[in-house]
């Protein structure tokens, strides 16, 4: 037996820490509020404090690549260290990069972020599907080989994406439905008896979606924007009532607001982790 | 007067060198074929040879970020040097990153790549629009402030993207039409009397698109995949017959195949640049 697949690894950390994901998003505003320089050195200090708040309190951290790329190659170096230190602390790293291209470009992105020999070896990454999931074979293949996970953006939390995401093909299926159907096919192919490694980023709506069978996708869901960006944990539980055990609920700003004091940050992470577990289940 | 807008700067380099764009895509295969190590050091050697082939022969280079990210932070450092050296050699840099997210994440991406104070200051970047152009305000604003360009992926060169890109909203407009209409509005707002800075990545079709008024978009077009990836320069000229002067025709593998011999590479770049000018116009 090799490393278990990403879903299996996630169920393990969920049983210990519940479904909360800690978004490590060091925006200029956060660095300022924490009293750190808006430089790569400030970023390194942020990484230290944030990981201390996360380790042993949540199962998954989700760095948003943009906030590291903003500091150029030194920011990429800080992200590299973040990923290594997080994994040493038994945190899963879901790297939010929203990549997606075609052909050999996807091979290069997959090699950059998936697998132990990757430059920045994440446990899972996010993908943007505008060029079609059919073009993303390099990601799917490498994710299976590396026991890594993929989260494809299906429904974003912002209203400006709705027109595109709700557009329909000639058979009347929305873009969201098309993509979920493709994820289901791929999950069924690699994990016919369980939950597969190909998940969806899906912002919570106030009611469960009527036109998408969430449970049938046989994959995990990343629900972004818990707290400051709008969703409450109760809304997330309502939206994903068909499969609450498969939801990764991600909070960032509402947690980071408690820093940089280490004990206040940790208390806030533990409190929100407990609330997420109460709403969605978890911790055996 | 500040720096002229991106379209104006592009028309200037087109008048000197024509419409060919040199894609700097150091895949593992290219590095191997060139006899360079598949490491960040090999990447640095690639940058030197490729820029020598480009400078004075084309107006624009287009590095594909994935091939640099694959080498981690050292790859990002090589890309940083590439951008600086290219701009010193009076090449415009169109950085192919296909980023796109929401809110403060887009602010961070825009700060990473647009403007003289950016970590990697490109002259233009590509964007992926799955989360809606309405969410991309940070990119549009910074591009105008920095006299930079944006190229939003509208139609990709691969067949797997067609179903999504041809899906239609409740008014019957395809995703492509929706996005082109938004680009037109934004170009009309910032450049009512000229060609605006907001372009489209649009793969050439064998005939001009019937449902999109290319000229009315008032922006530039990046036609990818010239040569090895399928389009001929004649197909590109046919597809964009309504506005051949606004087309950046990008070739990569067919040019790189002539390296690493410096004079053979340069001869190939000059030959393809002449063919692109013959088909699309340019060089005053």
| CB distance A282 to A18 below 8 Å | yes
Catalytic, out of A9, A98, A186, A246? A98
Q: Which of B267, B13, B229, B204 is nearest to B275 (CA)?
A: B267
The distance of B251 to chain A (nearest Cα, Å) reads 14
Strand partners, A126: A151
With H, G, I as helix, E, B as strand and everything else as coil, classify residue A169: coil
Q: Which residues of chain B are within 8 Å of residue A66 when distances are taken between CB atoms?
A: 99, 101, 105-106, 108-109, 112
Rounded to whole angstroms, the Cα distance separating A237 from A46 reads 31
Kindly determine whether residue A160 and residue B133, on different chains, have CB atoms separated by under 8 Å.
yes
Give the max Cα distance, chain B: 55
Q: Work out whether strand B247-251 and strand B221-226 pair parallel, antiparallel, or are unpaired.
A: parallel
Instruction: Please tell me whether the peptide bond between A197 and the residue prior to it is cis, using omega within 30 degrees of 0.
Output: no
Residue B273 pLDDT > 90 = yes
Segment A173-189, tens digit of pLDDT: 999 999 999 999 999 99
* Residue A3 pLDDT: 60
A16 is catalytic: no
Q: Which residues in chain B have their CB less than 8 angstroms from residue A117's CB?
A: none
CA distance, residue B41 to nearest chain A CA (Å): 14
Share of chain A above pLDDT 90, in %: 92
Q: In whole angstroms, what is the distance from residue B233 CA to residue B235 CA?
A: 5
DSSP 8-state secondary structure symbol assigned to residue A259: -
Cβ-based contacts of A157 with chain B (< 8 Å): 102
Average pLDDT over residues A86-94: 98
Q: How far is B135 from chain A (nearest CA, A)?
A: 6
pLDDT tens column, B51-90: 999 999 999 999 999 999 999 999 999 999 999 999 999 9
Q: For residues A124 and A60, what is the distance between their CA atoms, to the nearest angstrom? A: 10
Q: How confident is the model at residue A1 (pLDDT cuts 50, 70, 90)?
A: very low
The mean predicted confidence, pLDDT, of chain A is: 95
pLDDT for position B157: 83
Q: How far is A102 from chain B, CA to nearest CA, in Å?
A: 7
Q: Is the pLDDT of residue B2 over 60?
A: no
The pLDDT, as a whole number, for residue B1 is 41
pLDDT at A163: 94
Query: What would the mean pLDDT of A221-240 be, rounded to a whole number?
Result: 90
CB–CB contact A112 B77 (8 Å)? no
Residue B112: closest C-alpha in chain A: A70
Instruction: Quote the Cα angle for A180-A184-A185, to 5°.
Output: 120
pLDDT digits (tens, 9 = 90+) for A97-110: 999 999 999 999 99
> What band does A259 get if pLDDT is binned at 50, 70 and 90?
very high
CA atoms within 13 A on the CB side of B272: 29
**For residues B108 and A65, is the Cβ–Cβ distance under 8 A?**
no
Searching chain A, which residue's CA lies closest to the CA of residue B64?
A105
Q: What is the average pLDDT across A11-40?
A: 98
Whether the link from the prior residue into B249 is cis, omega within 30° of 0, is no
* CA–CA gap between residue B64 and residue A7 (Å, rounded): 31
Tell me whether residues B128 and A130 touch, CB distance under 8 A: yes
Residues of B identified as active-site: 98
C-alpha dist (Å) from residue B277 to A260, A263, B17: 57, 64, 8
In this prediction, residue B283 has a pLDDT band, given cuts at 50, 70 and 90, of confident
pLDDT bracket for residue B231 (50, 70, 90): confident
Residue B229: the pLDDT is 64
pLDDT band at B230 (very low <50, low <70, confident <90, very high): confident
pLDDT band at A87 (very low <50, low <70, confident <90, very high): very high
Residue B152 and residue B187 in contact, taking contact as beta carbons nearer than 8 Å = no
Q: Which residues of chain B make contact with A229, given a CB cutoff of 8 A?
A: 103
Q: Which of A70, A108, A134 sits opposite B66 (nearest CB)?
A: A108
Q: Which residues contact B48 (CB under 8 A, 6 or more apart)?
A: none
Range B240-260 average pLDDT: 97
Between helix A40-54 and helix A72-88 the angle, nearest 10°, is 20
A contacts of B28 (beta carbons < 8 Å): 108, 111
Of B282, B222, B209, the C-alpha closest to B252 is: B222
A24, A68, A74, A102: best to mutate for the B interface, most B CBs within 10 A: A102
Secondary structure, 3-state, A174-223: EHHHHHHHHHHHHHHHHCCCCCCCEEEEECCCCCCCCCCCCHHHCCCEEE
Give, as one character, the DSSP assignment of residue B174.
B
Among candidates B157, B89, B100, which has minimal Cα distance to B123? Answer: B89
CB distance A92 to A13 below 8 Å = yes
ipTM for the assembly: 0.97
pLDDT at A236 over 70: yes
Q: Specify the DSSP class assigned to residue A114.
A: B
Could you give the 3-state DSSP secondary structure of residue B140? helix
* Contact yes or no for B106 and A66 at CB 8 A: yes
Hey, are the CB atoms on B131 and A128 less than 8 Å from each other?
yes
Q: pLDDT of B102-130, one tens digit each?
A: 999 999 999 999 999 999 999 999 999 99
């Amino acid at each position: 037996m090799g490393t278990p697949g990403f879903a299996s690894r996630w169920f393990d950390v969920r049983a210990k820490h519940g479904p909360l994901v800690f978004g490590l998003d060091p925006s200029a505003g956060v660095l300022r509020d924490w009293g750190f320089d808006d430089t790569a050195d400030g970023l390194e200090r942020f990484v230290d404090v944030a990981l201390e708040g996360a380790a042993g309190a949540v199962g998954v951290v989700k760095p948003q690549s943009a906030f590291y790329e903003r500091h150029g190659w030194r920011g990429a170096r800080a992200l590299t260290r973040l990923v290594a230190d997080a994994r040493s602390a038994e945190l899963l790293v879901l790297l939010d990069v929203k990549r997606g291209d075609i052909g050999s470009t996807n091979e290069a992105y997959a090699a950059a972020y998936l697998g132990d020999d990757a430059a920045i070896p994440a446990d899972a990454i996010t993908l943007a599907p505008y060029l079609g999931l059919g073009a993303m074979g390099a990601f799917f293949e490498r994710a299976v080989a590396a026991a890594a996970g993929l989260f494809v953006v299906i429904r974003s939390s912002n209203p400006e994406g709705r027109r595109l995401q709700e557009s329909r093909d000639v058979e009347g299926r929305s873009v969201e439905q098309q993509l979920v159907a493709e994820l289901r096919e791929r999950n069924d192919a690699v994990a016919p008896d369980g939950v597969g490694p190909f998940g969806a980023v899906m912002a919570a709506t106030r009611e469960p979606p009527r036109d998408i069978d969430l449970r049938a996708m046989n994959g995990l869901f990343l629900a972004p924007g818990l707290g400051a960006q709008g969703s409450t944990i109760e809304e997330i539980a309502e939206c994903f009532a068909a499969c609450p055990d498969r939801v990764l609920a991600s909070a960032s700003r509402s947690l980071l607001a408690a820093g940089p004091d280490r004990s206040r940050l940790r208390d806030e992470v533990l409190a929100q982790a407990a609330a997420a577990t109460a709403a969605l289940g978890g911790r055996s």
